[in-house]
Structure 1
Amino acid sequence: MLRINIPAGEEQWDEVNEIFIYPKGQTLQLEHSLVSLSKWESKWCKPFLSKQEKTFEENLDYVKCMTLTQNVDPQVYNYLTSSNIDVINQYIDAPMTATTFREEKKGKSNREQVTAEIIYYWMIALNIPFECQKWHLNRLLTLIRVCDIKNSPPKKMSKREIFKRNSALNAARRKQLNTRG
């Protein structure tokens, strides 16, 4: 969860009511999760996790979808500073786990559009409990990837890899037994 402080805004003139407005600052609690993602996708009817650039309005609306704080004045989001936006983006991009993956070359890339429903399907298929939908999204996607890797059959070794492994084993045995082979 991320907490950000939005500073109070400057005095503004409300032309409709003909009064001065003094916006108050507020602390927001934000969570980048599958729940936030599905709220955003249900409103915009397009995948959030695409490479397509999002408009300022779409990004601002995602911050609203991430908000856990109750009864937030919608005007507060207009006072997000550039440093607030930077902190939010760093939080969204953070891995939130110590797990790393060794990248392997793949022949084909998967072009499936990842949406909230696809992630929910993966959770069901891998028996991941639904309380994980409130985890940081990157942590949940890492768990899904780990489950997929652990459930897949072991990769077959190529002949070159088998020869290399056997050569290393034979060299280790020769060294251990002080023989020449």
Structure 2
Amino acid sequence: MSSATAVQTTQTIHTIRPCAPEEAQDVWRLVASDPVIDTNSPYLYVMAADFWRDTFLVAHDEEGRLSGYVLGVPRPDRNAVFVWQITVAEHARRQGLADKMLDAVTAAARPLGLTMLEATVAPGNEASTRLFTRFAEKHGVPCEVSEGYAGSLFPEEDSQGERLFSIGPVPPGRAGNKT
């Protein structure tokens, strides 16, 4: 995705485009404000904007406020774009923006030859489970859920691990186009 795309959500128009390294600190702040997802090092977001510029996308509303972001990491070995994180700012929630950002990252991965979308989700994260399941249903493609990473791999004593969602393949012309 080398340019900006305007998308209509239920309440406003958002512009989705690649994240510039100069915006990475704003993304870090957005992630830090979301109690559900893990905040990574600010350096990770700067590096990601540089390394994965085609699939690290930000969304801004009509007032220019950062409304959300999705970081897709290309996985050519699996023909997939792996959604590392996705979040929507409080002011833009419940408008369908997360769905639009998944459409955008899938479309951005298409020129890289990637037709699958993958993500890991903690068992108790119902919002993400619904998001990825809804994406598969919307595009009429399979969504396979399997063990992604066992809880024993994480330092937290209470970690339940992560389930892997493998969605697709999303046929050409369908990513971002089916309503």
**TM-score interval (norm. to shorter):** under 0.3
Which of 1 and 2 has higher RCO (CA within 8 Å, sep 6+)?
1
Q: TM-score, normalised by structure 1?
A: 0.23
Structure richer in strand, relative to its length: 2
The structure with the largest alpha-carbon Rg is 1
Structure richer in helix, relative to its length: 1
